[in-house]
Every structure is written in structure tokens, then in C-alpha cells.
Amino acid sequence: MKKKILSIMLGAAVVMTLAACSGDDADTAPVVLSGGETAQTEAAEGGSDTADGTGDTAAADAFVFTYNGIAIPMNAPADAVIEQLGDGYTYFEAPSCAYEGMDKVYTYNSIVVRSYTKDGVDYIAAVELKDDTVATAEGIRIGATEEEVRAAYGEDGNEGTSGIEYTKGDSFISFIFEDGRTIAITYTAIVG
């Protein structure tokens, strides 16, 4: 009997969905967009916080460095990235005080990748470019002039004592200069 009701229900509902939604899939947008706090109280009105299916992605907005065609986003889970990068690295690890985590350093031919631990999972902490065979997504390599960096990344960086930093999402990229030329480039995750 249940099946019968269900089949009636399903059939009718499909028709109705087509009529009502004109095939539209983006349903949850308005509630989400109308602002954090109020949206929350409103969601509670129906009796529950609606379990919306869209989980936020951790590394949505951060610098991504690409090495040999493999993307290395800051704050992204490290295991998969390291696996893709292959075996050509030397490895170093250092447990933090009181075993609260493990700093891992993977040294490849042209880059160094560092990871940190959070909730038992490793995340990309930093990438350091070691030589001029690799370039940032914006085309900057070691040896580039200060002007080239500023032309590529803009003037709104944080000036440091020995270089400049640009922040994007929960990551920043640093260029270290000596005599007007880039001697080091690092990507760093901001761990929150």
C-alpha cells in the first residue's frame, strides 16, 4: 500500500516540480544570501536549522602554486598533493611540543613543500621556490626585478624589511629582494 501511495506521490510530484520550478535547481540561494544572523533565526523558525548540503571548501580562496602541472593550494589537505607530486623528494619531520602536531618538510628539485597538522590531518603550510626553473601563476621567477613583481602583483602589498607580501584569502605570497632582484619566493598558509 505504501508503494502505491509513493508511486502516486512521485508521479504527481514530478509533474508539479516541472510546473512549479521550471526546471530550476538553485533553490536555497535566497535564504543564504539574505545575511548571516537573520538567516539563521529564520531557518530555525520552521523548527530546525535546515541541513543545507553545501559544505564550505577549506581552500576556496587562497594562492595556488602549480608544480609540474600539479596544483598545490595553501591550506589544502596535503596527502593527496604529496602523492601526486611523486617520490622525488627528501623528507624531514619534526613533532611539535607535546605532540600537538607534526611539521613535515618535503624538498623537491625546485621547490620545498611544508605541511602542518590539524585535527590529525596534514595541510599544506608553505611552498618555497628554490630556483628559476619554476614560476608563479603570474609568471614571476627568482631573479625577477622588484618592478616586475610590483607590475604583476600590484602596489598594495605589505612592505617588509626584506621584501613584499601579498595576501589572498587565507594565504600570502612573499617576494624577498636583494639588490632589486627577487632572491626567494614563498607561499604561506595563514592558519586560523
Partner 1 sequence: MLFTSLKFIVFITILVIVYYAFTPAKERWGLLLMASLAFYFFADPRFLIFIFVTALVAYVHAIVTEDYQAKRKAYLKQNKELFDGDGKKKYKKTTANVTRLLLVLSLLINLGILAATKYTNFVIDTVNSIRGGEPLSFVNVIIPMGISFYTFQTVSYSIDISRGTVKAERNLLKLLLFVSFFPQLVQGPISRFGDLSQTLYTPKQFEFKNVSYGFIRILWGYFKKLVIADRLLPAIKILTGSPDEYNGAFVFIVMMFYAAQLYCDFTGGIDITIGIAQVLGVTVKENFDLPYFSKNIKEYWNRWHITMGTWFTDYIFYPLSVSPKMLKLSKWSREHLGNAVGKRVTVYISCFAVWLATGIWHGAAWHFVVWGLMNFVVIMASQELEPLYAKFHAKFNLKPHKGYAVFEIIRTFLLMSSLKLFDCYANVGLTFKMFGSMFTTFNAGKLFGGALADIGLSSGDYILLAGSITVVFLVSLYKKFKGTDIRGFLYDRFPLFALSAVILLIATLVFGAYGAGYDASQFIYNQF
Partner 2 sequence: MHKLTKNGKKLTRSTILRCLCVAGSVILTLAALWYLQRLLMPKYQKGVVEGSMIEEYYLSEEPHEVIFLGDCEVYENISTVTLFEEYGISSYIRGSAQQLTWQSYYLLEDTLRYETPKVVVFNVLALKYGEPQSESYNRMTLDGMRWSSSKIASIEASMTEDEHMIDYVFPFLRYHSRWSELTATDFEHVFSKDRVTTNGYYMRADVLPEGAFPDPMPLADYTLPDTSMEYLEMMYELCEENDIELVLIKAPTLYPYWYEQWDDQVDEFADAHGIPYINYIYLRDAMGLDMSEDTYDAGLHLNLSGAEKFASYIGQYLINNYDLTDFRQYADVAGEWEDDILFYDSLRQAQEAELSEYGELRSWGANAIE
Rg over alpha carbons for the chain, rounded to the nearest Å, is 24
In the list 36, 41, 97, 156, the residue contacting partner 1 (rule: CB under 8 A) is 41
Q: 35, 86, 143, 160: which one contacts partner 1 (CB under 8 A)?
A: 35
Q: Is 192 in the site for partner 2 (CB under 8 A)?
A: yes
From residue 96 to residue 125, what is the string marking binding to partner 1 with x (rule CB under 8 A)?
---xxx---------------xxxx-----
| Grid coordinates belonging to 69 | 602541472
Q: How far is the CB of 49 from partner 1 (least distance, A)?
A: 7
Q: In sequence order, which residues have a C-beta less than 8 Å from that of residue 87 and are 6 or more positions away?
A: none
Strand partners for 187: 127, 173
- How far is the C-alpha of 190 from the C-alpha of 167, rounded, in Å? 9
80 is an interface residue for partner 1 by CB under 8 A: no
From 63, 76, 175, 189, residue interacting with partner 2 (rule: CB under 8 A): 175
Give the type of residue at 145: T
CA atoms of 166 and 188, how far apart (whole Å): 10
Summarize as ranges the residues that interact with partner 2 (CB under 8 A). 92, 94-100, 105, 107, 112, 114, 126, 128, 158, 160-165, 174-176, 183-184, 186, 188, 192
